[in-house]
Amino acid sequence: MLYRLFESIRLKRIKRNIKYTYQIWTRGYCDCDSWALGDNIIKYTLPRLIALRNNFYSFPSNFSNENEWEKILDKMIYSFTICNNIQENCTFWENFIIEKAKKENPEIQTKLFDKTFKKYSEKEWEIITEGLKLFGEYLNNLWD
C-alpha cells in the first residue's frame, strides 16, 4: 500500500518535470520560474553583474571615467548580494510563519522579522535601496 503511494508521488514528479522541460523548450521558461520571480532575477543577475564589473571595456557616456562606473556597479553588486543572502536565509515557510503571526500576534511577528531582516542597519538598507535604484536607472547601460 505504501509502495503505491510513493509510486504515485514519483509519477506526478516525472509528469511535472516533463511538463516543465517542455515549457522551457517552447517558451524559454517554465511555470515554476515565476513562483519566486524576484529570487530568480537575483540569482540570474548577480553573477552577470560581477562578470561585467570584472570585464568591462566601456562605460556610459555620462561618466567622466571608468572609476565612477565601477563604483555604480559595486553598489549594484552589493545590493544584489545582500538580497541574495536574505533570500537564502528566509525560506518560504519562514515567510508563511511571519505572515500568519502578523495576523495573530504582532509581537511574535516583530521577533521573527528582526531575526531575518533587522540584522542590517538603516544605513545598510539605504545603501541596498540605492543600489537597486541604480540598477533600474542604468539597466540599459549594462552591456559591454
Structural domain count of the chain: 2
pTM: 0.67
The reported pLDDT for the residue numbered 36 is: 77
Residue 7 and residue 75 in one domain? no
Q: Same domain for 93 and 132?
A: yes
Kindly tell me if the per-residue pLDDT of 140 is higher than 80.
yes
| 39 pLDDT tier (thresholds 50, 70, 90) | confident
Query: Higher pLDDT residue, 5 or 9?
Result: 9
User: What percentage of the chain reaches a pLDDT higher than 70?
Assistant: 70
Residues 107 and 136 placed together within one structural domain of the fold: yes
Please give the pLDDT value at position 14: 85
Does position 112 have pLDDT exceeding 60, yes or no? Answer: no
Verify that 27 and 96 share a domain, yes or no.
no
Residue 116: how many other CB atoms lie within 10 Å: 14
CB 64 within 8 Å of CB 70 = no
The span from the CA of 26 to the CA of 141, in Å, is: 29
Spell out where 30-117 has E strands.
none
Q: Are residues 22 and 2 in the same domain?
A: yes
Task: Let me know whether 70 and 123 are in one domain.
Answer: yes
Contact yes or no for 71/43 (Cβ under 8 A) = no
Cα(144)–Cα(137) distance, integer angstroms: 17
Question: How far is it, in rounded angstroms, from Cα 48 to Cα 143?
Answer: 10
**Are residues 123 and 111 located together in one domain of the fold?**
yes
Q: What are phi and psi of 51, to 5 degrees?
A: -65, -40
Looking at the structure, tell me whether residues 11 and 81 fall in a common domain: no
Is 129 found in the same domain as 69? yes
Give yes or no: residues 42 and 29 share one domain. no
Clarify whether residues 61 and 119 are in a common domain.
Answer: yes
Give the residue numbers spanning the domain of 1. 1-33
Query: Are residue 74 and residue 19 in the same domain, yes or no?
Result: no
